[in-house]
Structure 1
Amino acid sequence: MTKYLMINVSGIVQGVGFRWYTQHIAQQHHLVGWVRNKRDGSVEICVQGLEEQIKPFLSAVEAGPGEYSHVDHIKITEIKPFTANDFAIKP
């Protein structure tokens, strides 16, 4: 079953390669959507894919890209279907 999710990740997630890491993990799991920094210091992820692809993606997002990042909280909201062909990093 295809899932459409909006994910807000807060913590130390800007300036540590988090968007690049998220794009890389999404591509590994054949997911589409986008990631962007928000003005409040969080990162917003819009993702589409099969549930069995999204579960390991979410685990990787929660772990973060390395020692300089730290995820404090993840908020996941189901959203309406959208169309995307790849996983992009938005400014």
Structure 2
Amino acid sequence: MSRYFIEVFGRVQGVGFRYFVEYTARAFHITGWVKNSEGGSVLIEAQGMNDNVTLFINEVKKGNRFAKVEDITCREIELISKEKNFRVIY
């Protein structure tokens, strides 16, 4: 198990990107959250089995058809036990 704090830069707000991230997280059995930042990026915390987290991050890098991901940063953070789902934070 691993958990990452991820920040995604580019055209990622106002293009359905958070919902794409939520859908992708559920497909890979990832828990955590996604939200827009005030600076225009999208912030994500993602937790799951190591291989699934890697696959999830690779899909996030691709983005959906409306987004244009220009850069992404990832850093491993402490696990949160008993987290059950992935959600969009407003």
Q: Deviations over 1:6-53 (max 9, x none)?
A: 000000000000000000000000010000000000000001001110
Query: What residue in structure 2 maps to residue 74 of structure 1?
Result: 72
The whole-number CA distance in structure 2 between the counterparts of 1:53 and 1:81 is: 15
Q: Does 1:36 align with 2:4?
A: no
Return structure 1 stretches of 4+ with deviation > 2 angstroms. none
Find the counterpart in structure 2 of residue 89 from structure 1.
88
Secondary structure of residue in 1 paired with 2:58: helix
Runs (5+) with no aligned partner, structure 1: none
TM-score (norm 2): 0.95
RMSD, aligned CA: 0.8
Residue 56 of structure 1 deviates from its aligned partner by: 1.3
Name the structure 1 match of 2:22. Answer: 23
Q: Which runs of 5+ in 2 are unaligned?
A: none
Aligned length: 89
Residue 46 of structure 1 aligns to a residue in which SS?
strand
Identity among equivalent pairs (%): 34
Aligned partners of 1:62, 1:87: CA distance in 2, in Å?
18
